[in-house]
Amino acid sequence: MADPLHNEFPPESIEAKDLAHLLHPTTNLRQHHEIGPTVHDRAQGVYLWDNKGKQYLEGMAGLWCTALGYGEEELIRVATEQMRKLSYSQLFGGKTNESSVLLAEKLKSMVPMDAGRVFFGLSGSDANDTQIKLLWYYNNALGRPEKKKIISRHRGYHGVTIAAGSLTGLPPFHKHFDLPIAGILHTDCPLYYRGVQGAETEEEFVDRIVGNLEDLILAEDPATVAGFIAEPVMGAGGVIVPPATYYQKVQAVLDKYDILFIDDEVICGFGRTGKPFGADTFAIKPTTISLAKAISSAYLPLSAVVIPEFMYEPFIEQSAEVGTFGHGFTYSGHPVCAAVALRNLELMEEREIFDHAAAMGEIMQERLSDFADHPLVGDVRGVGLIGAVELVANKDTKAAFTADRAVGAHCTKRCEENGLILRAMGDTMAFCPPLIISEEQIDELFSKFATALDETLNWVG
């Protein structure tokens, strides 16, 4: 496709080749062709440089994933050694490899559930896709073929495959893709700031939306509802931290109707919320867990689904009936990915990263709260080393900016100009730095954000 907007890019530049050859994920493609790409060139620790030499503080841990930061030599060493020893092995047909077995053992010792078995994939999307298939397979094995529906939440994010994308509760991931598929339902988002009605207290808000969840289950028939999936903190939907009693009351409804709780820890897992897992932070009792992102600090792609033994046991005879358990990926249990993830988790323990992240999280939340009085900020929310500020047109009425103003996108650009990488979800600015960030670097992060926010206010007028 000819691109006359970018004659300023030399034909052999990476920018020109990007515009000619790549289809970018989660990108405004028209805007991309108008502006062109930013080329990331190198990174170290919590900093990243573009191909023009500009330095940025990484305020988003990549895509919520680079927990140990960039350039960790120990993970590079392990990957190199494993490539030399066994560059690939698969788990089909009973084959195995040491790093996958040891990683599964490690994960079972860490997760806050009665863990039985671990299934490996490559992304959070395929993990949540697998969760759906396993739940269907399980209920078929129990002779409950009607118990298949899964409830997710509006503004939740669980991936982009056909099934996981259906679980996602964000309109851009559905529109024009013919999603969601049948059998995937959505209930209220637990964002008090936007969802409160009248003079409701947080407790009254929780009672109402959990009541709506129960009404949905009853309307669908509990015998047809298999699972409920939730991120402990909703990431891409705007860093939504639910009120204190929300999960306790949701759990009571699920237990009442024999509905399994799928805990999507893809963002929250491994120290992000101030404790090892989001389930620890919010006292969730998951039936199954999805893991990805920080499991390997994004050095190599890896995901995991952890299920209880009671789910696994009926799989044995079910698979024998047709001759195989017919699910799996070429790269399930890739030995290099597994070796790096295992060493990543060991480093987190050896360096007490969870304790460090909890301490830095308290500092970050305190600094974040300073923006509550800013004229552009309607809401500040977060926990641990994840947080957000929601930009509004009117603080008193909570009136949002119209979409065409693209205030969040402008603020993101101002952050970049000031050497800071953040992400806007609409007009909500998200913060999710690497877990290794220092107090001094947190000060740097918020100093740069304060400048960008003031520049955005001047631009809004």
Domains of the chain by residue range: 38-71+353-460, 74-350
Which of 87, 179, 79 has its CA nearest to residue 125? 179
What's residue 5's pLDDT?
52
- Going from the first residue of the chain to its last (461 residues), give the mean pLDDT of each consecutive group of 10, the final group possibly shorter: 61 94 95 94 98 98 98 98 98 97 98 97 98 98 97 98 98 97 98 97 98 98 98 98 98 98 98 98 98 98 98 96 96 98 98 98 98 98 98 97 96 98 97 98 98 98 85
Please enumerate in sequence order all residues whose Cβ is within 8 A of that of 206, keeping only pairs 6 or more positions apart, or say none.
190, 242, 243, 245, 246, 249
* Tokens 């996108």 sit on residue: 409
74-350: which CATH architecture?
Answer: 3-Layer(aba) Sandwich (3.40)
Q: Which fold has domain 38-71+353-460?
A: Aspartate Aminotransferase, domain 1 (3.90.1150)
Residue found by looking up tokens 């001047």 in the block = 458
Give the strand pairing for 149-153 and 225-230: parallel
- Between CA 270 and CA 298 the distance in angstroms is 13
Q: What is the pLDDT of residue 150?
A: 98
Q: Are 278 and 231 in contact (CB under 8 A)?
A: yes
User: What is residue 1's predicted lDDT score, i.e. its pLDDT?
Assistant: 46
* Same fold for the pair 38-71+353-460 and 74-350: no
Query: Tokens in use for 69?
Result: 């930061």
Res 8: pLDDT: 81
What are 323-327's contacts with CB under 8 Å, separation 24+? 327/130, 327/133, 327/134, 327/137
